[in-house]
A = this chain, B = another copy of it.
Amino acid sequence: MKGTIVKHSAKVAIAGVGNNISALTQGVRYYANLDAQGVPEADFPGIKRPRVDGLAVYDLDIVAAYDIDERKVGAEFNEAIFQEPNNYPRLGVEMAPIGVVVEKGFSLGEVTDDEVRRIAASLRDSAAEVLLYSLPTGLQWAATAYAEAALAAGVAFVNCTPEIVGRDEDILGRYVSAGLPLIGDDLASHIGTSVVHRSLLALFAERGISLSGSYQLNLGGNEDFRNLREQGASKRQSKLNALAQDGVPLDRVDVIPSAGYVPHLMDHKVAYLNLEGAGWANTPVEVDLKLRVQDSSNAAGVIIDLVRIAAAALRAQQKGFVAAAARLLKSPPMGHPAYEAADIEASFAALSPSAS
């Protein structure tokens, strides 16, 4: 079912074998099965962009993986993705062994030059084109170390987390010098609470409904919600920033990044939104919304685009940040206003020079 120009799959190495990676790789298998059954790509559910530079959503090969959890290190990759605390559901697709064993990654306090050389050598041996950084939020030291290793190995880098990598001028400069793509930081969810809340706040502003108050609660049963319950302050500010727009009085908006860690929700995220306002003659307007999503699918649906962009950019010998990824990230290097829609379209087009 692929197009006439056969592209080889993107070769991706993984740092951090968590729920997002389980969602990504089971999903890739799911879509490969649909393709094998003859389902047209335009009918694939949940896909915004069937092809990036000729790469389909199933054109992804995992070639190396790093973690430090003893339940995962040493395990075959397709078994590691189901180890606790991972709790993304099994999608019912067969995940046969792929011949990749999870290697020990960087450990806190043990990031030496030797270690960077070890990971870089492993990346080179694997022939990876892209290193996908997907550890838990908050480990800046790890993000930096993996970015160094990828640079040393000549591999493109994708940072899914809020750690500062793409926004670090020094690192970005060295990727540019090395002729390598660097894509980050912090992936935007496929459909998350922020984008829904933002839409409704915009609607109130556009229609002239005076916002009297609004709140947003998020809860879930994966490790993120356990962490955020404690350390929600920075996340709260980042989520408030995501809502900022003309006509929205942010001082009347409250965001609770983790209202609760509810284990039986597993990898589901539930969000409750409320907006109260005043319409004509100060009469009340009230909106209540509940959103329920598979949390890690929400990440994987965007990661699939980031890694295809990174691989395509490497092949097209582009370097540094790739504008095509701007809308898929919460914090692109120069902030969102720096990337206009036309630039983004041009960047996507430039990824496929032979196609034009």
Contact = CB atoms under 8 A, between A and B. Distances in A.
A68 to B, nearest CB: 26
Q: Which 3 A-B pairs have the closest CB atoms?
A: A48-B208, A27-B281, A280-B301
Given A190-B208, A270-B274, 16 more contacts: A46-B210, A91-B283, A190-B207, A191-B209, A195-B203, A199-B199, A199-B200, A199-B203, A215-B262, A215-B265, A252-B264, A279-B297, A280-B298, A283-B294, A287-B289, A289-B290
Instruction: State how many copies of this chain the complex holds.
Output: 4
Contacts of A47: 208, 210, 280
A281 B208 contact: no
Contact of A300 (B91, B196, B281, B292): B281
Interface of A: 23, 26-27, 30-31, 45-49, 89, 91, 190-191, 195-196, 199-200, 203-204, 207-210, 212-213, 215, 217, 219, 252, 254, 256, 259-260, 262-265, 270, 272, 274, 277-294, 297-298, 300-301, 304
Contact of A282 (B46, B252, B290): B46
Majority secondary structure, A binding face: mixed
Given A209-B191, A264-B213, A280 B259 contact: no
A56 to B, nearest CB: 14
17 contacts: A23-B283, A45-B210, A47-B210, A91-B281, A196-B203, A199-B203, A208-B301, A212-B264, A215-B262, A254-B263, A259-B260, A279-B294, A280-B294, A285-B294, A286-B290, A288-B290, A289-B289
A46 B280 contact: yes
A122 B280 CA distance: 30
A31 B281 contact: yes
A191 B213 contact: no
A45 B274 CA distance: 19
Contacts of A212: 264
A232 to B, nearest CB: 10
